[in-house]
Chain A
Protein backbone atom coordinates (compact mmCIF):
# COMPACT_ATOMS: atom_id res chain seq x y z
CA UNK A 1 0.00 0.00 0.00
CA UNK A 2 2.89 2.32 0.85
CA UNK A 3 4.43 1.68 -2.59
CA UNK A 4 1.10 2.27 -4.27
CA UNK A 5 0.55 5.61 -2.58
CA UNK A 6 4.14 6.64 -3.37
CA UNK A 7 3.60 5.78 -7.01
CA UNK A 8 0.36 7.74 -7.11
CA UNK A 9 1.98 10.73 -5.41
CA UNK A 10 4.94 10.50 -7.79
CA UNK A 11 2.55 10.40 -10.74
CA UNK A 12 0.60 13.42 -9.46
CA UNK A 13 3.86 15.27 -8.88
CA UNK A 14 4.88 14.70 -12.51
CA UNK A 15 1.63 15.97 -14.01
CA UNK A 16 1.37 19.38 -15.59
CA UNK A 17 -1.47 20.27 -13.24
CA UNK A 18 0.86 19.97 -10.26
CA UNK A 19 3.67 21.99 -11.89
CA UNK A 20 1.39 24.67 -13.30
CA UNK A 21 1.92 28.11 -11.86
CA UNK A 22 0.61 31.60 -12.68
CA UNK A 23 3.27 32.16 -15.35
CA UNK A 24 2.36 29.08 -17.37
CA UNK A 25 -1.31 29.86 -16.88
CA UNK A 26 -0.79 33.37 -18.23
CA UNK A 27 0.95 32.03 -21.31
CA UNK A 28 -1.75 29.40 -21.87
CA UNK A 29 -4.33 32.18 -21.82
CA UNK A 30 -2.18 34.15 -24.32
CA UNK A 31 -2.10 31.09 -26.57
CA UNK A 32 -5.88 30.75 -26.43
CA UNK A 33 -6.27 34.46 -27.23
CA UNK A 34 -4.01 34.06 -30.30
CA UNK A 35 -6.07 31.13 -31.52
CA UNK A 36 -9.27 33.11 -30.94
CA UNK A 37 -7.93 36.11 -32.86
CA UNK A 38 -6.87 33.84 -35.71
CA UNK A 39 -10.08 31.81 -36.01
CA UNK A 40 -12.88 34.08 -34.79
CA UNK A 41 -11.48 37.45 -35.87
CA UNK A 42 -9.49 36.11 -38.84
CA UNK A 43 -6.42 38.16 -37.94
CA UNK A 44 -3.63 36.46 -39.95
CA UNK A 45 -4.97 32.98 -39.22
CA UNK A 46 -2.14 31.22 -41.06
CA UNK A 47 0.25 32.67 -38.49
CA UNK A 48 -1.73 33.14 -35.30
CA UNK A 49 -3.29 29.66 -35.22
CA UNK A 50 0.07 27.76 -35.40
CA UNK A 51 1.74 30.26 -33.06
CA UNK A 52 -1.18 30.15 -30.64
CA UNK A 53 -1.16 26.38 -30.52
CA UNK A 54 2.62 26.38 -30.25
CA UNK A 55 2.30 28.61 -27.18
CA UNK A 56 -0.02 26.02 -25.66
CA UNK A 57 2.45 23.23 -26.47
CA UNK A 58 5.42 25.15 -25.08
CA UNK A 59 3.73 26.05 -21.83
CA UNK A 60 2.64 22.64 -20.63
CA UNK A 61 4.95 22.22 -17.64
CA UNK A 62 7.06 19.08 -18.14
CA UNK A 63 9.55 17.23 -16.08
CA UNK A 64 13.03 18.30 -17.17
CA UNK A 65 15.34 15.61 -18.47
CA UNK A 66 12.79 13.57 -20.40
CA UNK A 67 13.51 15.30 -23.72
CA UNK A 68 10.07 16.88 -24.03
CA UNK A 69 10.54 20.63 -23.83
CA UNK A 70 11.73 22.69 -26.76
CA UNK A 71 14.92 23.78 -25.05
CA UNK A 72 16.01 20.22 -24.23
CA UNK A 73 18.59 18.95 -26.71
CA UNK A 74 17.05 15.62 -27.58
CA UNK A 75 13.38 16.68 -27.89
CA UNK A 76 11.35 16.52 -31.11
CA UNK A 77 10.36 20.15 -30.74
CA UNK A 78 14.01 21.06 -30.35
CA UNK A 79 14.91 19.38 -33.65
CA UNK A 80 12.04 21.14 -35.40
CA UNK A 81 13.11 24.41 -33.73
CA UNK A 82 16.58 24.07 -35.26
CA UNK A 83 15.13 25.33 -38.54
CA UNK A 84 14.39 28.59 -36.72
CA UNK A 85 17.64 28.94 -34.77
CA UNK A 86 19.79 28.04 -37.77
CA UNK A 87 17.92 30.54 -39.97
CA UNK A 88 16.73 27.89 -42.48
CA UNK A 89 12.97 28.46 -42.31
CA UNK A 90 12.85 32.20 -43.15
CA UNK A 91 14.65 31.89 -46.53
CA UNK A 92 12.33 29.02 -47.46
CA UNK A 93 9.35 31.22 -46.62
CA UNK A 94 10.85 33.96 -48.77
CA UNK A 95 11.13 31.44 -51.62
CA UNK A 96 7.39 30.93 -51.38
CA UNK A 97 6.71 34.66 -51.07
CA UNK A 98 8.76 35.31 -54.21
CA UNK A 99 6.84 32.60 -56.05
CA UNK A 100 3.51 34.21 -55.22
CA UNK A 101 4.40 37.89 -55.55
CA UNK A 102 3.57 39.94 -58.63
CA UNK A 103 6.11 42.75 -58.95
CA UNK A 104 4.43 44.32 -61.99
CA UNK A 105 2.90 47.29 -60.09
CA UNK A 106 6.35 48.07 -58.75
CA UNK A 107 7.92 47.69 -62.20
CA UNK A 108 5.27 49.98 -63.70
CA UNK A 109 5.96 52.76 -61.21
CA UNK A 110 9.46 52.37 -59.75
CA UNK A 111 9.24 55.74 -57.95
CA UNK A 112 6.95 54.16 -55.36
CA UNK A 113 9.84 51.92 -54.28
CA UNK A 114 11.22 54.87 -52.37
CA UNK A 115 8.23 54.69 -50.03
CA UNK A 116 9.31 51.14 -49.17
CA UNK A 117 12.78 52.48 -48.39
CA UNK A 118 11.42 55.28 -46.20
CA UNK A 119 9.37 52.91 -44.09
CA UNK A 120 12.53 51.00 -43.15
CA UNK A 121 13.63 54.02 -41.14
CA UNK A 122 11.48 52.50 -38.41
CA UNK A 123 14.05 49.70 -38.10
CA UNK A 124 16.98 51.99 -37.45
CA UNK A 125 15.13 54.49 -35.26
CA UNK A 126 13.93 51.63 -33.05
CA UNK A 127 17.47 50.28 -33.00
CA UNK A 128 18.54 53.62 -31.50
CA UNK A 129 15.63 53.52 -29.05
CA UNK A 130 16.58 50.02 -27.90
CA UNK A 131 20.20 51.08 -27.37
CA UNK A 132 18.98 54.06 -25.37
CA UNK A 133 16.94 51.74 -23.14
CA UNK A 134 20.03 49.76 -22.28
CA UNK A 135 19.78 46.80 -24.65
CA UNK A 136 23.02 45.46 -26.08
CA UNK A 137 23.68 46.20 -29.80
CA UNK A 138 22.83 42.64 -30.90
CA UNK A 139 19.57 42.77 -28.94
CA UNK A 140 18.80 46.26 -30.23
CA UNK A 141 19.34 45.09 -33.81
CA UNK A 142 16.99 42.15 -33.31
CA UNK A 143 14.35 44.41 -31.72
CA UNK A 144 14.71 47.08 -34.41
CA UNK A 145 13.89 44.66 -37.22
CA UNK A 146 10.35 44.33 -35.83
CA UNK A 147 9.79 47.69 -37.52
CA UNK A 148 10.34 46.00 -40.85
CA UNK A 149 6.98 44.30 -40.23
CA UNK A 150 8.34 41.12 -41.76
CA UNK A 151 8.08 37.97 -39.66
CA UNK A 152 10.61 35.78 -41.50
CA UNK A 153 13.14 38.62 -41.63
CA UNK A 154 12.69 39.31 -37.91
CA UNK A 155 13.18 35.65 -37.06
CA UNK A 156 16.17 35.30 -39.37
CA UNK A 157 18.00 38.30 -37.93
CA UNK A 158 17.13 37.42 -34.33
CA UNK A 159 18.42 33.88 -34.87
CA UNK A 160 21.74 35.38 -35.97
CA UNK A 161 22.04 38.18 -33.42
CA UNK A 162 20.15 37.15 -30.28
CA UNK A 163 18.66 33.62 -30.54
CA UNK A 164 17.43 33.74 -26.94
CA UNK A 165 15.05 36.56 -27.92
CA UNK A 166 13.40 34.69 -30.80
CA UNK A 167 10.30 33.94 -28.74
CA UNK A 168 9.31 37.46 -27.70
CA UNK A 169 10.51 39.09 -30.93
CA UNK A 170 8.70 36.63 -33.19
CA UNK A 171 5.53 36.87 -31.15
CA UNK A 172 5.77 40.68 -31.16
CA UNK A 173 6.48 40.83 -34.91
CA UNK A 174 3.64 38.49 -35.88
CA UNK A 175 1.24 40.07 -33.40
CA UNK A 176 1.80 43.51 -34.80
CA UNK A 177 1.57 42.19 -38.36
CA UNK A 178 -1.82 40.74 -37.45
CA UNK A 179 -2.81 44.06 -35.86
CA UNK A 180 -1.85 46.19 -38.89
CA UNK A 181 -5.56 47.01 -39.53
CA UNK A 182 -5.74 48.34 -35.97
CA UNK A 183 -2.37 50.12 -35.64
CA UNK A 184 -2.01 51.88 -38.99
CA UNK A 185 -5.32 53.68 -39.70
CA UNK A 186 -5.15 56.18 -36.79
CA UNK A 187 -1.59 57.14 -37.80
CA UNK A 188 -2.65 57.46 -41.44
CA UNK A 189 -5.57 59.76 -40.58
CA UNK A 190 -3.43 61.83 -38.23
CA UNK A 191 -0.65 62.51 -40.71
CA UNK A 192 -2.68 63.12 -43.88
CA UNK A 193 -5.37 65.63 -44.75
CA UNK A 194 -8.69 64.72 -46.37
CA UNK A 195 -7.61 66.43 -49.57
CA UNK A 196 -4.47 64.29 -49.70
CA UNK A 197 -6.42 61.09 -49.06
CA UNK A 198 -8.64 61.92 -52.02
CA UNK A 199 -5.75 62.03 -54.51
CA UNK A 200 -6.29 59.58 -57.33
CA UNK A 201 -3.38 57.72 -58.82
CA UNK A 202 -2.74 57.55 -62.56
CA UNK A 203 -3.18 54.24 -64.32
CA UNK A 204 0.09 52.33 -64.51
CA UNK A 205 1.63 51.24 -67.79
CA UNK A 206 1.52 47.67 -69.01
CA UNK A 207 4.58 45.65 -67.95
CA UNK A 208 5.97 43.13 -70.44
CA UNK A 209 6.75 39.52 -69.62
CA UNK A 210 10.40 40.16 -70.47
CA UNK A 211 10.64 42.82 -67.78
CA UNK A 212 9.10 40.49 -65.22
CA UNK A 213 11.65 37.80 -66.08
CA UNK A 214 14.69 40.07 -66.11
CA UNK A 215 13.75 41.96 -62.92
CA UNK A 216 14.51 39.19 -60.36
CA UNK A 217 17.95 38.66 -61.87
CA UNK A 218 18.81 42.35 -61.92
CA UNK A 219 17.22 42.95 -58.51
CA UNK A 220 19.17 40.09 -56.97
CA UNK A 221 22.49 41.24 -58.44
CA UNK A 222 22.03 44.91 -57.53
CA UNK A 223 20.82 44.31 -53.96
CA UNK A 224 23.12 41.48 -52.99
CA UNK A 225 26.23 43.06 -54.48
CA UNK A 226 25.39 46.11 -52.34
CA UNK A 227 24.48 44.19 -49.17
CA UNK A 228 25.83 40.60 -49.36
CA UNK A 229 24.48 39.80 -45.89
CA UNK A 230 20.96 39.97 -47.40
CA UNK A 231 21.85 37.05 -49.70
CA UNK A 232 19.93 34.24 -47.94
CA UNK A 233 16.66 36.17 -47.85
CA UNK A 234 16.81 38.15 -51.09
CA UNK A 235 18.38 35.30 -53.00
CA UNK A 236 15.44 33.04 -52.21
CA UNK A 237 12.91 35.83 -52.75
CA UNK A 238 14.17 36.63 -56.25
CA UNK A 239 14.72 32.97 -57.09
CA UNK A 240 11.11 32.20 -56.19
CA UNK A 241 9.95 35.09 -58.32
CA UNK A 242 12.04 33.96 -61.28
CA UNK A 243 10.52 30.47 -61.00
CA UNK A 244 7.08 32.07 -61.17
CA UNK A 245 7.75 34.47 -64.04
CA UNK A 246 9.82 32.22 -66.30
CA UNK A 247 6.81 29.88 -66.71
CA UNK A 248 9.03 26.96 -67.76
CA UNK A 249 9.53 26.01 -64.10
CA UNK A 250 5.87 26.37 -63.14
CA UNK A 251 5.89 23.08 -61.19
CA UNK A 252 8.66 24.35 -58.96
CA UNK A 253 6.92 27.69 -58.50
CA UNK A 254 3.68 25.95 -57.53
CA UNK A 255 5.55 23.75 -55.05
CA UNK A 256 7.32 26.79 -53.56
CA UNK A 257 4.14 28.81 -53.03
CA UNK A 258 2.03 25.92 -51.76
CA UNK A 259 3.56 22.87 -50.14
CA UNK A 260 6.97 24.34 -49.25
CA UNK A 261 5.74 27.58 -47.71
CA UNK A 262 2.79 25.92 -45.98
CA UNK A 263 4.99 23.22 -44.42
CA UNK A 264 7.58 25.70 -43.25
CA UNK A 265 4.91 28.07 -41.93
CA UNK A 266 3.43 25.26 -39.83
CA UNK A 267 6.80 24.26 -38.39
CA UNK A 268 7.94 27.82 -37.84
CA UNK A 269 4.67 28.93 -36.24
CA UNK A 270 4.43 25.97 -33.87
CA UNK A 271 8.08 26.08 -32.80
CA UNK A 272 8.19 29.85 -32.35
CA UNK A 273 5.06 29.62 -30.27
CA UNK A 274 6.52 26.75 -28.25
CA UNK A 275 9.68 28.78 -27.61
CA UNK A 276 7.66 31.28 -25.57
CA UNK A 277 8.00 29.25 -22.40
CA UNK A 278 6.78 31.22 -19.40
CA UNK A 279 10.10 31.20 -17.57
CA UNK A 280 11.85 32.54 -20.71
CA UNK A 281 9.10 34.78 -22.06
CA UNK A 282 7.58 36.54 -19.06
CA UNK A 283 10.42 38.87 -18.24
CA UNK A 284 10.68 42.68 -18.08
CA UNK A 285 12.83 42.43 -21.20
CA UNK A 286 9.87 40.96 -23.13
CA UNK A 287 7.65 43.82 -22.06
CA UNK A 288 10.29 46.25 -23.30
CA UNK A 289 10.43 44.34 -26.61
CA UNK A 290 6.66 44.55 -27.06
CA UNK A 291 6.62 48.27 -26.34
CA UNK A 292 9.52 48.95 -28.70
CA UNK A 293 7.92 46.72 -31.33
CA UNK A 294 4.74 48.78 -31.29
CA UNK A 295 6.84 51.95 -31.50
CA UNK A 296 8.85 50.51 -34.37
CA UNK A 297 5.73 49.70 -36.34
CA UNK A 298 4.27 53.14 -35.75
CA UNK A 299 7.48 54.93 -36.69
CA UNK A 300 7.78 52.86 -39.88
CA UNK A 301 4.21 53.76 -40.88
CA UNK A 302 4.76 57.43 -40.08
CA UNK A 303 8.10 57.51 -41.99
CA UNK A 304 6.49 56.16 -45.12
CA UNK A 305 3.58 58.63 -44.93
CA UNK A 306 5.81 61.64 -44.30
CA UNK A 307 8.21 60.67 -47.08
CA UNK A 308 5.29 60.44 -49.51
CA UNK A 309 4.27 63.98 -48.52
CA UNK A 310 7.88 65.10 -49.03
CA UNK A 311 7.94 63.54 -52.50
CA UNK A 312 4.75 65.42 -53.39
CA UNK A 313 6.60 68.71 -52.89
CA UNK A 314 8.75 67.83 -55.91
CA UNK A 315 6.34 65.88 -58.10
CA UNK A 316 4.15 67.42 -60.77
CA UNK A 317 1.70 64.51 -60.57
CA UNK A 318 1.02 64.01 -56.89
CA UNK A 319 0.88 60.58 -55.31
CA UNK A 320 -1.60 59.68 -52.62
CA UNK A 321 0.45 59.86 -49.38
CA UNK A 322 -1.53 56.95 -47.91
CA UNK A 323 0.66 54.74 -50.10
CA UNK A 324 3.56 55.54 -47.76
CA UNK A 325 1.93 53.41 -45.06
CA UNK A 326 2.14 50.42 -47.40
CA UNK A 327 5.93 50.65 -47.27
CA UNK A 328 5.90 48.41 -44.20
CA UNK A 329 6.39 44.94 -45.58
CA UNK A 330 3.27 43.34 -44.10
CA UNK A 331 2.16 42.04 -47.52
CA UNK A 332 -0.68 42.39 -48.45
CA UNK A 333 -2.37 43.60 -45.25
CA UNK A 334 -0.93 47.10 -45.23
CA UNK A 335 -1.89 47.54 -48.90
CA UNK A 336 -5.43 46.49 -47.98
CA UNK A 337 -5.45 48.99 -45.11
CA UNK A 338 -4.42 51.77 -47.53
CA UNK A 339 -7.27 50.76 -49.85
CA UNK A 340 -9.72 50.75 -46.95
CA UNK A 341 -8.69 54.15 -45.54
CA UNK A 342 -8.68 55.67 -49.04
CA UNK A 343 -12.17 54.34 -49.71
CA UNK A 344 -13.49 55.85 -46.49
CA UNK A 345 -13.06 59.22 -48.20
CA UNK A 346 -13.91 58.14 -51.74
CA UNK A 347 -15.41 54.68 -52.35
CA UNK A 348 -14.41 54.87 -56.02
CA UNK A 349 -10.72 55.43 -55.31
CA UNK A 350 -8.95 52.10 -55.80
CA UNK A 351 -5.50 52.27 -54.27
CA UNK A 352 -4.83 48.56 -53.65
CA UNK A 353 -2.73 47.77 -56.71
CA UNK A 354 -0.81 51.04 -56.42
CA UNK A 355 -0.13 50.26 -52.74
CA UNK A 356 1.32 46.87 -53.66
CA UNK A 357 4.35 48.63 -55.20
CA UNK A 358 5.71 50.11 -51.93
CA UNK A 359 4.47 47.03 -50.10
CA UNK A 360 6.66 44.60 -52.04
CA UNK A 361 9.59 47.02 -52.17
CA UNK A 362 9.32 47.12 -48.37
CA UNK A 363 10.04 43.39 -48.32
CA UNK A 364 13.24 44.02 -50.28
CA UNK A 365 14.10 47.02 -48.10
CA UNK A 366 13.60 45.17 -44.81
CA UNK A 367 15.78 42.28 -46.04
CA UNK A 368 18.53 44.75 -46.99
CA UNK A 369 18.13 46.46 -43.59
CA UNK A 370 18.43 43.12 -41.82
CA UNK A 371 21.56 42.25 -43.80
CA UNK A 372 23.12 45.61 -42.96
CA UNK A 373 22.38 45.29 -39.24
CA UNK A 374 23.76 41.76 -39.23
CA UNK A 375 26.98 42.75 -40.97
CA UNK A 376 27.53 45.87 -38.81
CA UNK A 377 26.79 44.23 -35.47
CA UNK A 378 28.53 40.92 -36.00
CA UNK A 379 31.73 42.37 -37.48
Chain B
Protein backbone atom coordinates (compact mmCIF):
# COMPACT_ATOMS: atom_id res chain seq x y z
CA UNK B 1 0.00 0.00 0.00
CA UNK B 2 1.28 3.44 -0.90
CA UNK B 3 0.73 6.06 1.74
CA UNK B 4 0.75 9.83 1.26
CA UNK B 5 4.31 11.16 1.17
CA UNK B 6 5.65 7.74 0.24
CA UNK B 7 6.78 6.72 -3.18
CA UNK B 8 8.84 4.16 -4.95
CA UNK B 9 12.39 3.90 -3.68
CA UNK B 10 14.55 6.92 -4.46
CA UNK B 11 18.14 6.58 -5.59
CA UNK B 12 21.10 7.33 -3.35
CA UNK B 13 21.80 10.63 -5.10
CA UNK B 14 18.25 11.82 -4.62
CA UNK B 15 18.10 10.87 -0.96
CA UNK B 16 21.42 12.40 -0.08
CA UNK B 17 21.54 15.51 -2.26
CA UNK B 18 19.84 17.76 0.32
CA UNK B 19 21.68 16.39 3.37
CA UNK B 20 24.96 16.68 1.45
CA UNK B 21 24.28 20.30 0.56
CA UNK B 22 23.46 21.10 4.20
CA UNK B 23 26.59 19.26 5.30
CA UNK B 24 28.87 21.18 2.94
CA UNK B 25 27.34 24.50 4.03
CA UNK B 26 27.76 23.58 7.71
CA UNK B 27 31.40 22.69 7.18
CA UNK B 28 31.98 25.96 5.32
CA UNK B 29 30.24 27.84 8.15
CA UNK B 30 32.35 26.14 10.81
CA UNK B 31 35.57 27.09 9.03
CA UNK B 32 34.61 30.54 7.78
CA UNK B 33 34.34 32.09 11.26
CA UNK B 34 37.71 30.56 12.10
CA UNK B 35 39.42 32.01 9.06
CA UNK B 36 37.82 35.44 8.77
CA UNK B 37 36.47 37.74 11.46
CA UNK B 38 34.30 39.88 9.23
CA UNK B 39 32.23 38.33 6.47
CA UNK B 40 33.15 34.82 7.58
CA UNK B 41 31.34 35.42 10.84
CA UNK B 42 28.11 36.49 9.17
CA UNK B 43 28.28 33.56 6.78
CA UNK B 44 28.85 31.13 9.66
CA UNK B 45 25.78 32.46 11.49
CA UNK B 46 23.60 31.88 8.46
CA UNK B 47 25.10 28.52 7.49
CA UNK B 48 25.15 27.03 10.99
CA UNK B 49 21.56 28.03 11.72
CA UNK B 50 20.46 25.95 8.70
CA UNK B 51 19.61 22.79 10.69
CA UNK B 52 17.48 24.86 13.07
CA UNK B 53 15.71 26.64 10.19
CA UNK B 54 15.12 23.40 8.30
CA UNK B 55 13.63 21.61 11.31
CA UNK B 56 11.50 24.65 12.14
CA UNK B 57 10.31 24.86 8.52
CA UNK B 58 9.16 21.24 8.43
CA UNK B 59 7.65 21.56 11.90
CA UNK B 60 5.57 24.56 10.85
CA UNK B 61 4.59 22.81 7.63
CA UNK B 62 3.47 19.75 9.55
CA UNK B 63 1.54 21.97 11.96
CA UNK B 64 -0.30 23.80 9.23
CA UNK B 65 -1.06 20.55 7.38
CA UNK B 66 -2.42 18.79 10.48
CA UNK B 67 -4.44 21.94 11.22
CA UNK B 68 -5.98 21.73 7.77
CA UNK B 69 -6.77 18.03 7.95
CA UNK B 70 -8.28 18.26 11.43
CA UNK B 71 -10.57 21.12 10.41
CA UNK B 72 -11.59 19.15 7.34
CA UNK B 73 -12.32 16.01 9.28
CA UNK B 74 -14.58 17.87 11.69
CA UNK B 75 -18.23 17.01 11.03
Are A and B a genuine interacting pair, yes or no? no
